[in-house]
């Protein structure tokens, strides 16, 4: 029975993390700010590109490493890969912003699923023990068209089936082991 609960817990964690990711920003007032966030369009079709531009301002007296991404809120029925970032300026996984400096950025995303999204630039910064996130002001974007599926999204159901199958095997083995001990 404990193995079943562990496997079910892992499965629930994987699925619910898809819902919870969109608005995970923690307050980081006084460190970074997104200013002049602009979107190329707010009505697009799946497969089309949307460009988000703006400025990142470091409001501290220390340099800060920042990674850029996009977060988008939508209905909980529309989970999975909804967009993919196809270009980022400045390039690289992390951008170093000097104290009291600003950096221009542009994120180009390709939308994969239709829906109505509230889209933000998301800045993630910090180290393992001290992290933070800052969101841009955001904008509502309406995406229409047929969904475009990614390989990883098609693999998720297979992984969940393996987790459930592992739980079933664990239950069967533990019951047989208990039955053998009694006889």
pLDDT tens sequence across 94-143: 888 888 899 999 988 888 888 888 888 888 876 555 567 788 888 888 98
pLDDT of 79 over the 60 cut: no
Q: What is the pLDDT of residue 127?
A: 58
Q: State how far Cα 11 lies from the chain centre.
A: 18
pTM listed for this prediction:
0.61
Domain spanning 2-161: which CATH class is it, in words? mainly beta
Residue pair 80/21 in contact by the 8 Å Cβ criterion: no
Mean pLDDT of 32-57: 89
Helix 151-182 and helix 2-20, axial crossing angle in degrees, nearest 10: 160
Q: Are 74 and 21 in contact (CB under 8 A)?
A: no
């Amino acid at each position: 029975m404990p193995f079943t609960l562990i496997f079910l817990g892992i499965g629930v964690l994987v699925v619910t993390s898809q819902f919870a990711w969109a608005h995970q920003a923690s307050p980081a007032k006084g460190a970074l700010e997104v200013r002049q966030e602009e979107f190329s369009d707010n009505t697009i079709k799946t497969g089309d590109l949307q460009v988000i531009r703006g400025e990142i301002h470091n409001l501290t007296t220390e340099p800060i490493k920042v990674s850029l991404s996009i977060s988008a809120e939508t209905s909980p029925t529309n989970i999975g890969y909804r967009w993919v970032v196809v270009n980022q300026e400045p390039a690289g996984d992390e951008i170093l912003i000097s104290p009291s400096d600003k950096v221009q950025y542009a994120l180009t995303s390709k939308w994969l699923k239709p829906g109505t999204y509230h889209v933000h630039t998301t800045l993630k910064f910090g180290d393992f023990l001290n992290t933070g996130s800052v969101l841009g002001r955001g904008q509502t974007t309406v995406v229409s068209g047929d969904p475009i599926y990614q390989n990883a999204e098609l693999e998720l159901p297979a992984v969940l089936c393996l987790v459930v199958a592992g739980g079933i095997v664990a239950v069967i083995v533990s019951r047989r082991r208990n039955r053998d001990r009694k006889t």
